[in-house]
Structure 1
């Protein structure tokens, strides 16, 4: 499995989960001049390929990308013809599938999981006239762009709600892998929690998978056993929301609205919306204006947001959260605004400063209030 350098693990006794201490890593985010991606003839639809790490289903990460694919097709009727391949493991399988999509004549290929980064770069070298877009990665090339939603914004908002809804002051976070993308989400969520409840703590359990309903449920139960009465996740199933519904506690969904899995438990979801981005990038290839970019879009650009709020959330809390959302849209607030300390009390972001994009993409430390983990010095 292609991943950023992993961590030294301390296994949670009696389970298949881990708490982690993160190691540093080198980043390669150099943007090179793009090759000329020729415009598509007006009578020739652009072939667009998508590679998915999980099954499409009807919720979660892969489903959100497929909704975006469908929206692109609806917006560009007759101008594009798309195909997707689902449940592709990261690594050798991904390289084979990406290469086959290029051989099949797809002129634009979206690879939608972090572990597809190196396979995407490798295949792109052999197909210089094909445009590639990789989601959540940091490596780019002449014909490889990267894109990511500023999910730290909805993460912060859900954290604000969690801080107000917990009674035990213990909030559980189910993480897939301890890589910067997930660590950043834990940080933004915890900062939101601490903004409304400085006494609350966030406990993290790793399941070592993006999608494993069984492990996710076991992790959720482990967190409940530790006293958590609110759960959230950076994984792809609805297991945590379903368990929360059974236990009479609260939970947040992720990637898409998961309210149908827990009518009472589900407070809101941090959601992704890829349709406009996929439409815009396809149009760029069609028009011959595509270039390799590093695109991070937030709530203001419509790429991320929160789903409708549960009426169980008090009106004053809802108003507070929506006011902060408006600040994110206007650019007058940022989730990672100093002073921010790590879990050992070391100041990582000074007063009045914000954690910039380059710092966020390699984030390997945990903010104050996260328990069961250790930052890299």
Structure 2
């Protein structure tokens, strides 16, 4: 039996050898000594006896035995050699008794290189073993700025909490996300039961993922698994039957393909210009398009919801013959799935979920109901089965900063922000830059309304700000003047300007695109990308409204700046830019890209304040931060 097995393994080895030769690859095993860092640039650490995943054994420690095997660890020496005889004997022993003796190996960048036991690895791999016991010495390179090195150090941190070596990612931050996705706090140690459960869930997922063609994708199984449990939930994934898991993986395949893209998002900064003459529209007949809007709160208690409700009413007024709209209020993480189901059951073929925390439920509903279009209001979100939208409010905030800078006699301004999420940091910095452009001495005191025990009124008194940027709109059920830009006069606010979210303009454009059939043109068939709409002043989605208390000269300045931004002659984030810690843009002719504006995690040099850590925020902020929180940490910025 051993000789027959060797003959089969030998054939596999020769085939792999020849295939690699034709591809111009090294046909034999990798040698760790050939790729090790220079002496003095790494350290060694014994991690003891562990189960080594067979798939992660990449080669040998030294060159000695590397030429005895092809790159897939199958033997390539003739059957008459002493090596072949020993391999065959080991094969027979494995069948009769099993191989129990651990190998000795080195781990480098989570790949393993065998020092003792190469034939054991070869035999175990031939028989389809998943892992093999081994005493392992870890080679730890010095920290660098290289992506793979950063991922490896994140793995080392994760390994301290969960000694798992069989999952790997291609993107930084993924091990932290995995820790959170399984319900663990950062650095919280895993119990034995946690490790066994994870192994079961991950193994079952990988089996179905690979069976569906996972090896053809240029991502790791870990990338796909993290995407899957982030969407459906870790506990829920573990409870799925094999058939349910298989079906969900197949239906979610576009999400996995999206992970292959270096740039996952196709940012639409303007409406699609492909239009059909209105007289030629034959899209509806007598049937109206039924549209649902799902709100997190009510229009009476939330300025954000109120703005979207005005957008819905705009649709009803502008397109009474074409659409019928309904709204669902008080959506939560607990009831969003049922609200989406209700809307679909009521015959809605287009659904707008108007807040970032609803994005995961939106994707799940879209996968389960492919004939329903679901669009979520969030920024920098990567999903293939839904589209997302947001507005370039930083353009308006720049104008409001200019107003505040002009009106602040003592050069002190306060900016009240809510959540440290994508887009909000750009709003803060745009405000600060606008103020500084008009008033070089302007200082912006940053306060967060969602911080625990925040007494913003007291903070404003302490810093003595003459002008304040408060909530964007008045809340209908609150008789308050503390919104927009207001000037403090004897402890009372005098409103100077306010931003306008004109969601109705966006919704109307989207509806016409669907009715006219041009919606499909936004999706490039040659690329797998998530579609994000990010419109601004030039598209009429945002604007600033000035009050009668604003001096006429300041009003003219606002109109001038508005015109240059709307016509794209001026970018608020252009020229030399400084953060609290140094230079961001050094080129006087340079400017930030839309992607850099969306994801910025730094504060302008004239901002006094920080980006709060998640632990500093109220519980109500958790769902938003989890979905949209700024990711990178830089001098006072917080990673989420």
Select which of 406, 429, 438 maps to 1:187.
429
Paired position in structure 1 for 2:391: 149
Shift of 1:160: 0.3
SS at match of 1:88: coil
Select which of 526, 531, 534 maps to 1:296.
534
Higher relative helix content: 2
Select which of 32, 46, 54 maps to 2:289.
46
Paired position in structure 2 for 1:371: 608
Normalised to the residue count of structure 1, the TM-score between the two structures is 0.77
Task: Check the 8 A contact 1:174/1:235 in 2, yes or no.
Answer: no
Ranges in structure 1 where 5+ consecutive residues have no aligned partner: 7-25, 33-38, 251-261
Task: Check the 8 A contact 1:174/1:220 in 2, yes or no.
Answer: no
- Cα distance change on mapping 1:140 and 1:102 into 2, 3 Å: farther
Task: Check the 8 A contact 2:352/2:375 in 1, yes or no.
Answer: yes
Cα distance in 2, alignment partners of residues 343 and 367 from structure 1 = 6
> Within 5 Å, which residues of 2 pair with 1:58-69?
60-69=303-312
Cα distance in 2, alignment partners of residues 220 and 101 from structure 1 = 41
Select which of 515, 522, 538 maps to 1:286.
515
Select which of 416, 436, 448 maps to 1:174.
416
Shift of 1:229: 2.0
> Within 5 Å, which residues of 2 pair with 1:319-338?
319-338=556-575
Select which of 496, 515, 518 maps to 1:267.
496
Cα distance in 2, alignment partners of residues 102 and 150 from structure 1 = 30
- Cα distance change on mapping 1:29 and 1:73 into 2, 3 Å: farther
Paired position in structure 1 for 2:360: 118
Shift of 1:71: 1.3
SS at match of 1:120: helix
Cα distance in 1, alignment partners of residues 440 and 434 from structure 2 = 10
Task: Check the 8 A contact 1:28/1:139 in 2, yes or no.
Answer: no
Task: Check the 8 A contact 1:244/1:265 in 2, yes or no.
Answer: no
Paired position in structure 2 for 1:135: 377
SS at match of 1:160: helix
Cα distance in 2, alignment partners of residues 289 and 179 from structure 1 = 31
Shift of 1:220: 3.6
Shift of 1:328: 0.9
- Across the aligned residues of Structure 1 and Structure 2, the Cα RMSD in angstroms comes to 3.2
Normalised to the residue count of structure 2, the TM-score between the two structures is 0.47
SS at match of 2:335: helix
Cα distance in 1, alignment partners of residues 382 and 517 from structure 2 = 19
Task: Check the 8 A contact 1:31/1:141 in 2, yes or no.
Answer: no
- Cα distance change on mapping 1:312 and 1:348 into 2, 3 Å: same
- Cα distance change on mapping 1:244 and 1:222 into 2, 3 Å: farther
Shift of 1:180: 2.3
CA-to-partner distance for each residue in 1:243-294, whole Å, 9 max, x for gaps? 589x9717xxxxxxxxxxx8x6110101111212212222333344323642
Task: Check the 8 A contact 2:336/2:361 in 1, yes or no.
Answer: yes
Shift of 1:118: 2.2
Q: Does 1:249 align with 2:478?
A: no
- Cα distance change on mapping 1:88 and 1:224 into 2, 3 Å: farther
- Cα distance change on mapping 1:279 and 1:58 into 2, 3 Å: farther
Paired position in structure 2 for 1:342: 579
Cα distance in 2, alignment partners of residues 240 and 224 from structure 1 = 22
Paired position in structure 1 for 2:279: none
Cα distance in 2, alignment partners of residues 357 and 141 from structure 1 = 19
Paired position in structure 2 for 1:358: 595
Ranges in structure 2 where 5+ consecutive residues have no aligned partner: 1-176, 181-258, 268-281, 524-530, 612-632, 636-640
Cα distance in 1, alignment partners of residues 370 and 382 from structure 2 = 13
Cα distance in 1, alignment partners of residues 398 and 266 from structure 2 = 29
Which is further off, 360-369 or 153-162?
Answer: 360-369
SS at match of 2:539: coil
Please tell me whether Structure 1 or Structure 2 has the larger radius of gyration of its CA atoms: 2
